[in-house]
Amino acid sequence: MSSEDKIVLIDEKGRRIDGRGPEDLRPIRMEIDVLKNADGSAYVEQGGTKVIAAVYGPREVHPRHLAFPDRAAIRCRYHMAPFSTSERKSPAPSRREIELSKVIREALESVVFTQLYPRTVIDIFIEVLQADGGTRCAGLTAASLALADAGIPIRDLIAAVAVGKIDGVLVLDINETEDEHCEADMPMAMAPSFNEIVLLQLNGVLSPEETSKAIELGKKGIMKIYELQKETLKKKYELSTRRSQVVT
């Protein structure tokens, strides 16, 4: 690509390619209880990224020898639909999807009270319907909401966002174009009530000072997402309460 064709990711006014400032999140939409046949489900739309999560369980483990005597097992599958990217993706799980399934499962295990359900399994399915950057973060946010919707006891919700470095500037919630051309990409997730980071990855290079600033920027974004999660859950149960009052 010649210098004339180079994509301008941040203009002279500090605006990004989609018009946002460095610390702005993309528009976010959240819904829960979107799948009738799941015990809990959630849909998260973050910019052009669209993710749905479904939770089943706790339920009996098959085969039984895979059960843990003192806690529930958590199984997680992160998957990108064949139509989720601009070029058709193979429906078979890729190495990246297998890795992210493990990373997301470990993050969720840190907040679920698995000891309450020995010898059972909790299955979590995350399906990326449309990918536009930040799919693992949106998937983790959706999975956390789906667990809450299923009524599974958790210490806290998990909210996630990616921080990137573009032209030397730290930016929040990068989209696909920014992800492709950024100097660094740092997905992170937290249990905000405990100020506890449950996932932190880094692709690219950040200095120690930049890393600290990126974490603080990520925390700001996570707190906004966390408030949206709580508001989404609150709306559902306020509606349920109103309906029960009308019936009574």
| Span 88-113, pLDDT tens digits | 888 888 999 999 999 999 999 999 99
Decide if 13 is inside a domain.
Answer: no
For 160, residues 6+ apart whose C-beta sits below 8 A from its C-beta are 136, 137, 138, 140, 141, 187, 188, 189, 190, 199, 222, 225
Highest mean pLDDT of the ranges 3-17, 28-42, 231-245? 28-42
**pLDDT at position 237:** 78
Lowest mean pLDDT among 2-16, 128-142, 186-200: 2-16
**pLDDT at position 248:** 56
**pLDDT at position 242:** 64
- To 10 degrees, the CA torsion angle through 195, 207, 139, 49? 130
**pLDDT at position 2:** 45
Q: What is the pTM of this model?
A: 0.91
- To 10 degrees, the CA torsion angle through 211, 218, 174, 236? 160
Distances in whole angstroms, Cα of residue 246 to Cα of each of 110, 235, 239, 240, 242 = 39, 17, 11, 10, 6
20: nearest Cα among 137, 175, 132: 175
Residue 123: pLDDT band with limits 50, 70, 90: very high
Judged against a pLDDT cut of 50, whether residue 233 lies above it is answered with yes
Cα separation, 27 vs 47, whole angstroms? 5
Residue 8: pLDDT band with limits 50, 70, 90: confident
Cα separation, 196 vs 78, whole angstroms? 23
**pLDDT at position 42:** 98
Decide if 147 is inside a domain.
Answer: yes
Decide if 218 is inside a domain.
Answer: yes
pLDDT, average across residues 20-42 = 97
Q: Can you give the CATH number for the domain in which 170 is found? A: 3.30.230.70
Q: Which domain range does residue 94 map to?
A: 28-247
Lowest mean pLDDT among 58-67, 113-122, 144-153: 58-67
123: nearest Cα among 232, 237, 37: 37
Judged against a pLDDT cut of 60, whether residue 1 lies above it is answered with no
**pLDDT at position 243:** 63
Q: Print burial letters for 97-115: b (CB count within 10 Å at least 16), e (below 16).
A: beebbebbbebbbbbbebe
CA 42, 44, 45 angle in degrees (round to 5)? 155
222: nearest Cα among 106, 99, 107, 79: 107
| Span 41-93, pLDDT tens digits | 999 999 999 999 999 999 999 888 889 999 999 999 999 999 998 888 888 88
- Give me the number of domains the chain comprises: 1
Decide if 131 is inside a domain.
Answer: yes
